[in-house]
A = this chain, B = another copy of it.
Amino acid sequence: MKDIAQRAGVSESAVSFALNGRPGVSEVTRDRVRRVAEQLGWRPSTAARQLSGEGAATVGFVLARPADTLGVDSFFLQLVSGIQEVLAERHLGLLFQVVEDVTDECAVYRRWWAEHRVDGVLVVDPRTDDPRPGLLDELGLPAVVIGGAPDERHPGLSTVWADDAGAMASVVDELYRLGHRRIVHIAGLPGLAHTERRVRTLRAEAERRGLTEVESVTTDYSDAEGAAVTRRVLGRPAPPTALIYDNDVMAVAGVTTATELGFSVPADVSVVAWEDSALCRMVRPWLSALSRDSVEFGRTAARELTALLDGGPARTVRVPVPQVIVRESTGAARGA
């Protein structure tokens, strides 16, 4: 900046005013300064800017998953790419970290906050009894919780969520219409808030219809557990006629397993994947799936965070209910 000031023959303050579109310099000078800056390829040092109270121009994103669970899930990269799109417009950086568990995640937030490294964070995989919202509220670190149910206890946080309950209801609806009465839901990690929501809704829907042979089994989202659970439930005397998998990976593993066991999909057993990805169209039969726009989900979350950073109020935003895409893996229950 000193350089620019010199070459443009003005003071550093004038440069600052000129480049930030603040009054105090004539249009002529402003233009001259702009040209010099451009020519020098100057960009304000984020560090200096931050010291002068402008914030870090960075938001944080922590993924708390063991490294090996991380692989195949397409959801996160899509989410991140949506987030990026919005952040990039405003030249906000995304500081990304992978940790083992929520405890470590909290430590990361603490450190980031103490080091003034980020202006806000995006929190994913909210849990039942989650320590993070409390911590963030306490620190006063602006945050958007992605995928959580609205939470009255932390008015400082924004929430962006999908209506899992509604989606689950529509899946059950569809399966019920097709004559399915024995349904198993191969759910994800037990501690996650959306897992709980899906499980609860499924139970409620079953009760409402008087179905007794409907249940949820929690897993770790891996293909291995997906296959194992499938094998177990299909081995019963009265096996389920419909399976709902909480992600695409388990669904594919499930179909493969079912086929190996001699079950035909969808003639003997229908399958629904909770997450529509390329994977669902890569195997035969094509998987019926719940489709949501993960990229848009990310965009929405990022937009909420920037709004928060601009001093806006915390809000709760619901993205569209995931839609059931019927493909080849669902059909009428045998004998229905």
Question: In the complex, what's the smallest C-beta–C-beta distance from A334 to chain B, in angstroms?
Answer: 23
* Chain B residue nearest in CB terms to A50: B47
The answer to whether the Cβ of A11 comes within 8 Å of any Cβ in the partner chain is no
Please, how many angstroms separate the alpha-carbon atoms of A80 and B76 in the complex?
13
The answer to whether the Cβ of A16 comes within 8 Å of any Cβ in the partner chain is no
Count of chain copies: 2
Chain A 56-92 interface residues, beta-carbon cutoff 8 Å to B? 56, 58, 61, 67, 70-74, 76-78, 80-82, 84-85, 88, 91
| Contacting residues, chain B, for A47 (C-beta < 8 A) | 46-48, 50-51, 56, 116
The answer to whether the Cβ of A284 comes within 8 Å of any Cβ in the partner chain is yes
Please, how many angstroms separate the alpha-carbon atoms of A249 and B280 in the complex?
12
| Contacting residues, chain B, for A222 (C-beta < 8 A) | 278
Set B45, B58, B282: member contacting A95, Cβ < 8 A:
B58
The answer to whether the Cβ of A114 comes within 8 Å of any Cβ in the partner chain is yes
Please, how many angstroms separate the alpha-carbon atoms of A97 and B96 in the complex?
9
Question: In the complex, what's the smallest C-beta–C-beta distance from A221 to chain B, in angstroms?
Answer: 11
Tell me if B41 and A110 are in contact (CB < 8 A): yes
* Chain B residue nearest in CB terms to A70: B77
The answer to whether the Cβ of A253 comes within 8 Å of any Cβ in the partner chain is yes
Tell me if A80 and B98 are in contact (CB < 8 A): yes
Encoded as 1 (CB less than 8 Å from any B CB) or 0, chain A from 138 to 181 comes to 00000000000000000000000000000000000000000000
Set B46, B70, B77: member contacting A117, Cβ < 8 A:
B46
Tell me if B94 and A97 are in contact (CB < 8 A): yes
Set B50, B99, B278: member contacting A71, Cβ < 8 A:
B278
Question: In the complex, what's the smallest C-beta–C-beta distance from A262 to chain B, in angstroms?
Answer: 13
Tell me if A283 and B256 are in contact (CB < 8 A): yes
Encoded as 1 (CB less than 8 Å from any B CB) or 0, chain A from 271 to 302 comes to 00000011101111000000000010000000
The answer to whether the Cβ of A208 comes within 8 Å of any Cβ in the partner chain is no
The answer to whether the Cβ of A27 comes within 8 Å of any Cβ in the partner chain is no
The answer to whether the Cβ of A260 comes within 8 Å of any Cβ in the partner chain is yes
Question: In the complex, what's the smallest C-beta–C-beta distance from A96 to chain B, in angstroms?
Answer: 4
Tell me if A256 and B282 are in contact (CB < 8 A): yes
Please, how many angstroms separate the alpha-carbon atoms of A78 and B96 in the complex?
14
Tell me if B253 and A282 are in contact (CB < 8 A): yes
The answer to whether the Cβ of A43 comes within 8 Å of any Cβ in the partner chain is yes
Tell me if B97 and A249 are in contact (CB < 8 A): no
Encoded as 1 (CB less than 8 Å from any B CB) or 0, chain A from 100 to 113 comes to 00000000001100
| Contacting residues, chain B, for A278 (C-beta < 8 A) | 71-72, 222-223, 249
Tell me if B77 and A45 are in contact (CB < 8 A): no
**Given pairs A67-B81, A67-B85, A72-B74, 7 additional interface contacts (CB within 8 A):** A43-B114, A45-B115, A47-B116, A80-B98, A81-B98, A223-B278, A279-B279
Which A-B residue pairs are the 10 nearest by beta carbons? Answer: A43-B114, A47-B50, A71-B74, A96-B96, A47-B47, A84-B98, A67-B81, A43-B115, A81-B98, A46-B115
